[in-house]
Chains A and B, each alone.
Chain A
Amino acid sequence: AQKVTQAQTEISVVEKEDVTLDCVYETRDTTYYLFWYKQPPSGELVFLIRRNSFDEQNEISGRYSWNFQKSTSSFNFTITASQVVDSAVYFCALSEEHSGYALNFGKGTSLLVTP
């Protein structure tokens, strides 16, 4: 069963629009971590953020913000004032203590930002 669901396969926005990428996860562990990675066309996975299960505080980093809600098992990612350079595939991932913190990735959301 898929532990991380990214329901949006592809999103296309015009530059300067805000965009939210959804992520829903499933786990029975009390200790777990959630991640977002960016994979630009070059292919390398770029770490964006990590959140542990005990910290529901939302985080903002420049134009990026993340909303972690345990009640809905969601960890959504918002890009404010999107730019063309934000075009990439974004992956949400879950790591659980019982599996040595191996990452379970969602299928990714392909974001295209057009000028």
Chain B
Amino acid sequence: DTGVSQNPRHKITKRGQNVTFRCDPISEHNRLYWYRQTLGQGPEFLTYFQNEAQLEKSRLLSDRFSAERPKGSFSTLEIQRTEQGDSAMYLCASSFSDEQYFGPGTRLTVT
């Protein structure tokens, strides 16, 4: 499978715990994006990387959120001290130009 993959697909955690998600982009894609989608809404941009450089962060990305892409390949998104409002689908996309290919997402439920 050469598409974008995300792990885990589902995560249930208790409020206050830290969680980390992983995204593996399509191998030749240099851009990687993170989005968040809550129920009934469109995806909202969080941040993006060009190679290993994080070039833009949305104001939605609070201090509790951090993303990395250490070698310009896979990326991780960590949420510290999770809150119930963090419950959402976290989507990763990768691109070589302007067309983004999305992964299946990680659904986070904070109880």
Looking at chain A's contact residues, the main secondary structure is strand
**Chain B contacts of A99 at CB under 8 A?**
56
Looking at chain B's contact residues, the main secondary structure is strand
> How many A residues face the partner with a CB closer than 8 A?
23
Interface centre among B33, B45, B104 (most CB of A within 10 A): B45
A45 touches B98 (CB 8 A): no
- Is B102's beta carbon under 8 Å from chain A? yes
Among the listed stretches A68-76, A78-86, A101-109, which one makes contact with chain B, having 4 or more residues with CB under 8 Å of it?
Answer: A101-109
B33 touches A102 (CB 8 A): yes
A103 touches B43 (CB 8 A): yes
| Residues of A near any B CB (own CB < 8 A) | 4, 33, 35, 37, 43-45, 47, 50, 52, 91, 93, 95, 99-108
Instruction: Select which of A33, A44, A100, A104 is within 8 A of B55 by beta carbon.
Output: A100
**Chain A contacts of B56 at CB under 8 A?**
99-100, 102
